């Protein structure tokens, strides 16, 4: 029997060391891992253990935003090479207009998002830098980089808000595609 080498099989094999690394230590800054290994953030998230991540199509982005708007205070994060910007507060409801998903007022979180450019979403629950679990919904652009992330809120003792964890898991279970 001969082994067939396809580009997908070669790429998959090339990611095995990253999968092993993330299995052993899933709690680092994923953007740093992506930069260090020369792959997209989406590829890094895909290499996390399957129990720690699920993916939904970009067409589910508006449904996710609408659901999260009812959770209460969350952390909205934008991470670039030069900035990690966090804003805490309730996610306002949004609506489409003039090519953007426009977040309504009444919260420190506001702005205009090109939500139609969201290629897919990842629901990630993993340990993070020794602070216990983190739960994030990552909205990915077509190039595999994060448009933004929404993290489940924490209480004054830095513990995840249990009701938001429940809502995160329910939304993940509703929107995510079966793992392949």
pLDDT value of position 2 = 47
Residue 75, sorted as left (phi over 0), alpha (psi -120 to 50) or beta, turns out to be beta
Residue 9 to residues 18, 48, 175: CA-CA distances in angstroms? 15, 18, 28
pTM of the model: 0.90
Residues with pLDDT less than 50, the chain: 1-3, 5-6
Computed on alpha carbons and rounded to an integer, the radius of gyration of the chain in Å comes to: 17
Fold classification of 51-175 (topology level): Heme iron utilization protein-like fold (3.40.1570)
Report the candidate in 149, 140, 90, 87 with the shortest Cα–Cα distance to residue 117.
140
CA distances from 159 to 46, 111, 154, 178 (A): 26, 28, 5, 29
Inter-residue contact 152 to 140 (CB < 8 Å): no
Write down the domain spans for the chain: 51-175
């Amino acid at each position: 029997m001969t082994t067939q080498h396809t580009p997908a099989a070669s790429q998959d094999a090339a990611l095995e060391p990253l999968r092993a690394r993330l299995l052993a230590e899933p709690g680092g800054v994923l953007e740093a891992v992506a930069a260090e290994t020369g792959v997209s953030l989406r590829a890094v998230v895909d290499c996390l253990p399957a129990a720690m991540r699920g993916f939904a199509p970009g067409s589910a982005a508006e449904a996710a935003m609408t659901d999260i708007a009812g959770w209460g205070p969350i952390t909205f994060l934008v991470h670039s090479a030069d900035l990690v910007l966090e804003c805490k507060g309730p996610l306002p409801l949004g609506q489409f207009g003039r090519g953007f998903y426009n977040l309504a007022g009444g919260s420190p979180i506001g702005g205009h998002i090109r939500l139609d450019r969201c290629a897919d979403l990842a629901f990630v629950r993993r340990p993070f830098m020794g602070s216990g679990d983190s739960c994030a919904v990552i909205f990915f652009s077509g190039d595999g980089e994060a448009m933004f992330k929404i993290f489940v809120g924490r209480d004054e003792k830095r513990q995840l808000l249990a009701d938001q964890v429940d809502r995160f898991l329910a939304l993940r279970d509703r929107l995510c595609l079966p793992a392949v």
